[in-house]
A = this chain, B = another copy of it.
Amino acid sequence: MSADLPFTKPALGVCYYPEHWPESQWTEDAHAMADLGLSWVRIGEFAWSRIQPKPDQFDWDWLDRAIETLGQAGLNVIMSTPTATPPRWMIDKHPDMLAQTEDGQRRKFGSRRHYCFSHLGYREQSAQIAKILGKRFGQNRHIQAWQIDNEYGCHDTVISFSPSARSAFQNWLEAKYRTIDVLNSSWGNVFWSMEYQRFDQVDLPNQTVTEPNPAHAMDFRRFASDEVMAFNQAQAHALRQYTDRPLIHNYMGRITEFDHFEVGQDLDIASWDSYPLGFLEDRSDRDDAFKTRFMRQGDPDFQAFHHDLYRSVGKGRWWVMEQQPGSVNWAPFNPKPLPGMVRLWTWEAMAHGAEVVSYFRWRQAPFAQEQMHSGLQLPNGDWADVQKEIRQISEELAEIETPQTSDAEVAIIFDYASSWAWDIQPQGRNFDYFRLVYAFYCGLRCLGVSVDIIAPNTHEFGNRKLVIIPGLFSWNQTLLSALESFGGQVLLGPRSGSKTENFQIPAKLPPDLDAFDIKVTSVESLRSSDRKDLINSGHIEAWLEHVETSEDVVETTSEGDPVLIRNDRLNYLTAWPDEQAMERILADLAAKSGVETSKLQSGYRRRNWGHYTLHMNYNAFPIEFKNNNKTVQLGAAELALIHNETGNRLF
Query: CB of A428 within 8 A of chain B?
Result: yes
Is there a chain B Cβ closer than 8 Å to A187's Cβ? yes
Given known pairs A215-B367, A365-B188, A523-B372, the reply for A92 and B201 (CB within 8 Å) is: yes
Contact B192 A425 (CB under 8 A): no
A613 is an interface residue with CB less than 8 A from chain B: no
Say which residue of B82, B201, B203, B427 sits within 8 Å of A193 (CB atoms).
Answer: B82
A205 contacts the other chain (CB 8 A): yes
Contact, CB under 8 Å: B371 / A505: yes
**Cα distance, A506 to B371, chains bound together (Å):** 11
| Bound: A104/B505 CA distance, A | 37
A211 within 8 A of B: yes
A210 at the interface (CB under 8 A from B): yes
A89 located at the interface, meaning its Cβ lies under 8 Å from any Cβ of chain B in the complex: yes
Q: Which residues of B contact A205 (CB under 8 A)?
A: 110
Does B104 lie within 8 Å of A524, measured CB to CB? no
Please, which residue of chain B has its CB at the minimum distance from the CB of A109? B203
Tell me the bound Cα distance from A333 to B527 in angstroms. 6
Asked if residues A207 and B523 are in contact (CB atoms below 8 Å), the reply is no
- Chain B residues whose CB sits within 8 angstroms of the CB of A326 once the complex forms: 522
Assembly CA distance A506 to B379 (angstroms): 9
**A190 in complex: contacting residue of B50, B92, B207, B336, CB < 8 Å:** B50
- Interface residue? A327 (CB, 8 A): yes
Residues of B within 8 A of A46 (CB): 191-193
Residues of B within 8 A of A295 (CB): 527, 530
Bound Cα distance A522, B530 (Å): 44
* Count of this chain's copies in the oligomeric assembly: 3
CB distance from A508 to the nearest CB of B (A): 7
Known: A110-B203, A192-B111, A374-B522. A213 touches B509 (CB 8 A): no
> What is the distance, in angstroms, from A28's C-beta to the closest C-beta of chain B?
17
Is B522 within 8 A of A327, CB to CB?
yes
* A428 CA to B185 CA, complexed, in Å: 51
Instruction: Give the residues in chain B near A157, CB-CB below 8 Å.
Output: 209
Residues of B with C-beta under 8 A to A366: 188, 504-507
> Judging by beta carbons under 8 Å apart, are A190 and B523 in contact?
no
With both beta carbons as reference points, the residue of chain B lying nearest to A196 in the complex is identified as B88
Q: Residue A214 contacts which of B19, B106, B369 (CB distance < 8 angstroms)?
A: B369
Nearest to A49 among chain B residues (CB) is B193
Contact in complex: B335, A191 (CB < 8 Å): no
Check: A384 CB closer than 8 A to any chain B CB.
yes
Cα–Cα distance between A295 and B546 once the two chains are bound (Å): 17
Known: A366-B507, A372-B523. 7 other contacts (CB 8 A): A20-B190, A20-B191, A53-B195, A111-B213, A191-B370, A292-B527, A334-B428
Listed from nearest, the 10 A-B pairs whose CB atoms lie closest are A188-B367, A191-B368, A49-B193, A366-B505, A85-B193, A110-B208, A111-B208, A292-B529, A188-B368, A332-B429
A-B residue pairs in contact (CB < 8 Å), sample of 11: A105-B207, A108-B203, A110-B203, A191-B370, A212-B369, A213-B369, A215-B368, A334-B523, A334-B525, A335-B527, A378-B522
